[in-house]
Chains A and B, each alone.
Chain A
Amino acid sequence: MKEESDINLTRRLLVKTLMAGAAATMLPLSQAYGAASAIDWAAFFQKRFQELTPQEIGRLIIRLEAKYKKTYGRDIKVKTTPPIDNVEFAYALNLSKCIGCRRCVYSCAQENNLSRKPHQIHYIRVLRFQSGPIDFEKAQHYYDPREVPETGYFYVPVQCQHCRKAPCVKVCPIKATWTEKDGTVVVDYDWCIGCRYCMAACPYKGRNFNWAEPQIPPEEINPNTHYLGNRPRMKNVVEKCTFCVHRSREGRYPACVEACPVGARKFGNLLDINSEVRQIIETKRVFRLKEDLNTDPRFFYFFHS
């Protein structure tokens, strides 16, 4: 009998604990339910971008633009400009010219609607090295002198290298990232599950994760956006440089090219013999980062005064 009452007591205790615990859990969970009731079911069931028909894309863009209007109180255009035929984009960067001023970094952030707070995202990381070899282990990421360039140092900006054999694309378990016909590696932010395998695979730190809900002051939003590029993102998905897909597919230079005060950044069509990048490859000696990994980047570096 005693055992029986013990069991009852334990049961009551158990029930009480569970109730208290449930109450404690209710707080965040109720928020989750609150969020759930606000779930955009159209977004939830949205297919992968490459699977969508033109009609579906049309509806999707209308839905997105309405959503952004509501969030930011501004008209934000979401384009789906396709790749241009017979174009393979490539980039060349003159390390003799780069002065490490980080103008590219911030103009990129501005142009591409990168999260400012609470987590700052930059697609470009400028590394400072002491004169000598490029030894990443000795790279200085957080240099902050009064003026650049400094004697005794040189600078190497690194961003997504848009590899022909992109390790990030290979490892994505759900094909949320792929290489477009024009050679740009893009992400479908609405398909990404946030596993970050691509970040582990990238040898260039070319990918960034939205660790928190990205925050951008509405007045600083760039309203000229592309679905596969700089449209506003959500928390917990991966994003990356797209060679400013919203600009480059209209024939324009990416923002970093325009921002560079020393003209170290060159961009163009690899298939056009007269393009700047192609002329650099033809007439200068170029190299790519971590050639030994055989990722075959479309991003070239060269030294030339």
Chain B
Amino acid sequence: MLFLLAGNSYAAKEFSVPYPPFSPGIFPCMACHEGLDRNRNKRQLADMHQEIKIIRHGERWCYDCHDARNMDRLRLAGGKQIRFEESYHLCGQCHGNILKDWKKGIHGKRTGNWQGEKQYLLCVHCHDPHNPPFKPIRPEPAPVKPEKTLLNRQPTSK
């Protein structure tokens, strides 16, 4: 219920984006983090989130991006808190040119209407922030070759 409300409240922002691709049941973070002590020291996680490995995204630590005070928010380098739905600002801190293209619709994917309302996929919809490169997928089957396109001779009226 809570994140349904949360989802709605984001819709009227600068860009219309779909709900961020959280792992199931993980959001809101404060459901668990509320009242937990913040250990800001960079370390190997042992109790929770061990599955999160920062791969192919340089040397990173949770609080580079996640806001330590309010875990339901992200944090820009300057200290500004932003919602997950605006995470492109965070990515754009390093990938400025791509953010510029994303805003014009050159980079990234949009759905809906070329004229009228459209949805912008967030950076993180395609690039897992903890492991950004696009994951390989199974291609759809190759077309049928012309040699193999034959009449399926059903019994005709003959």
Contacts and interface: CB of A to CB of B under 8 A. Distances in A.
Classify A-B as touching or not with yes or no (CB < 8 A): yes
Interface stretch (B18-26, B82-90, B107-115): B107-115
A253 B111 contact: yes
Interface centre among A100, A141, A263 (most CB of B within 10 A): A263
A252 B106 contact: no
Interface string A80-98: 0000100100000010000
Interface in B104-157: 104-116, 118, 121, 126, 134, 136-145, 149-152, 156-157
Contacts of B104: 274, 276, 279, 283
B101 interface: yes
A292 to B, nearest CB: 27
A276 B113 contact: no
Nearest to B105: A276
B143 A120 contact: yes
B43 interface: no
Contact of A148 (B101, B139, B141): B139
A85 to B, nearest CB: 12
Nearest to A102: B140
B49 interface: no
A44 to B, nearest CB: 23
Contacts of B139: 100-102, 143-145, 147-148
B57 to A, nearest CB: 16
Contact of A263 (B112, B121, B140, B143): B121
A153 to B, nearest CB: 11
B92 to A, nearest CB: 15
B141 to A, nearest CB: 7
Nearest to A284: B106
B13 interface: no
Contacts of B114: 248, 251-253, 267-269, 275-276
Contact of B112 (A211, A253, A275, A280): A253
A212 B118 CA distance: 39
B105 A147 contact: no
Given A141-B142, A212-B151, A263 B137 contact: no
A147 B136 contact: yes
A145 B158 CA distance: 43
A167 interface: no
Nearest to B120: A263
A13 to B, nearest CB: 27
B151 A118 contact: yes
Contact of A103 (B113, B140, B144): B140
Interface in A107-153: 117-120, 122, 125, 141-149
Contacts of B112: 252-253
Nearest to A27: B158
Nearest to B135: A147
B105 A266 contact: yes
Nearest to A119: B149
B142 A101 contact: no
B105 A120 contact: no
B106 A144 contact: no
Contacts of B110: 253, 257, 263, 276
A260 B110 CA distance: 10
Nearest to B150: A118
A92 to B, nearest CB: 8
A258 interface: yes
Interface of B: 98, 101, 104-116, 118, 121, 126, 134, 136-145, 149-152, 156-158
Given A143-B142, A252-B112, A276-B110, 14 more contacts: A31-B157, A84-B115, A102-B141, A102-B142, A147-B137, A148-B136, A148-B137, A149-B134, A252-B113, A253-B110, A257-B111, A263-B107, A263-B121, A283-B106
Interface of A: 27, 31, 84, 87, 94, 99-103, 105-106, 117-120, 122, 125, 141-149, 211-212, 248, 251-253, 257-258, 260-263, 266-269, 274-276, 279-280, 283-284, 304-305
Closest 5 CB pairs of A and B: A263-B109, A276-B105, A102-B140, A147-B136, A251-B115
20 contacts: A31-B156, A99-B136, A101-B138, A102-B142, A105-B143, A120-B143, A120-B144, A122-B143, A141-B142, A142-B142, A144-B141, A147-B136, A148-B139, A252-B112, A253-B112, A253-B114, A253-B118, A257-B111, A268-B105, A304-B106
